[in-house]
Structure 1
Amino acid sequence: MRKTAIPAAAILALSLMLSACSGAATDTTSSESTAPESSTTETEAGTDTDAEMMHEEHTGTFEGAGEHSVAGTVTVSGTEIVLEGYSSDEGPDLNIYLTNGNDEDAVAGGMQIDAVAYDEASQTFTFDAMDVSGYDTVVIYCDKVKAIFGSALLS
């Protein structure tokens, strides 16, 4: 009788575990099938908005900062920054940044794009698609001497 009780208990325990697993799997499956539908809808709506923001262009005109001279115009989209009629004082390590403002803190919290040549009137910087609407200024900054050479407020 003892031999029969152990296999019966094992079968009962196995049955309970399998039914518990199948119930959890059913619940998970139904939750998963519901979740992607709402996520997909949100993603599709978000993608349209993101795509619109990435194609939006913002422009500005450079002004020098302090004793430095920077001139020209800038156009920013979701995938590139284009400088036209650009000129700047020479600096040892000039870089272009997307920022919110034109001070040291704004540069520190901004996004460095690339090195910029002081003597090339037309320059284009490309980057992965991103929402640039969160930035309101393009800054020319010398990383080596920690100096802002100029900036352009975007509109």
Structure 2
Amino acid sequence: MRTKTLLASTSAALLLTAALAGCSSPAGSGSGADASMSPMPTMSASEAAMMSVTGTFAGENGKNVAGTVTILGDTITLSDFSSDEGPDLHLYLAKGTSEADVTAGTEIAGVKWDAASQTFTLPAGVDAADYTYLVVHCDKALAVFGAAPLSS
């Protein structure tokens, strides 16, 4: 009987040791208890402003729009941009691509349909991270020509 109790106690001690070993991490790995207690690094306002947001344009409503957008800080850059011609094309930051989304969005500036490279400045106080699309909109015809979904 004593042998069974001793074996059971030894087995329990080995299981406990194995379980605890599985919860620890190798020295210097940075994922132990001490690492989880360290504060998360915070981003300064200037670092947050310099985060890059990008997107690729696609046409909507039977219109052709192509190219890419990069937003870095307060600068919007269109590259390899092209669009069907429109009488009054503008860029809007919006949370969708419907006419209502554009109306609720923020107008950036007029955009040239035939200039492959264009650069714009975000209006003061506008954060591109608050929006999900950069939309090419014809203000005169009240029509969305195309949009680029934005991602970080």
Q: TM-score range by the shorter chain?
A: 0.5 to 0.7
Q: Output the aligned Cα RMSD.
A: 1.4
- Equivalent residue, structure 1, for 2:142: 146
TM-score w.r.t. length of structure 2: 0.67
- Equivalent residue, structure 2, for 1:132: 128
Provide the C-alpha distance between the structure 2 equivalents of 1:55 and 1:129, rounded to a whole number of angstroms.
Answer: 14
User: Highest Rg: 1 or 2?
Assistant: 1
Instruction: Name the aligned partner's letter for residue 52 of structure 1.
Output: E
- Equivalent residue, structure 1, for 2:88: 93
Which string of whole-angstrom CA distances, capped at 9 and with x for unpartnered residues, describes residues 111-136 of structure 1? 00000000000000013364221011
Query: In 2 relative to 1, CA 136–81 (structure 1 residues): closer, same or farther, beyond 3 Å?
Result: same
Structure 2 gaps of 5+ residues are 1-42
Provide the C-alpha distance between the structure 2 equivalents of 1:111 and 1:136, rounded to a whole number of angstroms.
Answer: 12
Structure 1 gaps of 5+ residues are 1-47
Asked if the contact 1:60–1:154 (Cα under 8 Å) also holds between the matched residues in 2, the reply is yes
SS of 1:133 mapped into structure 2: helix
Deviation at 1:49, TM superposition (A): 4.2
Question: Structure 1 vs Structure 2: percent identity of aligned residues?
Answer: 46
Alignment of 1:18-97 (within 5 A): 49-97=44-92
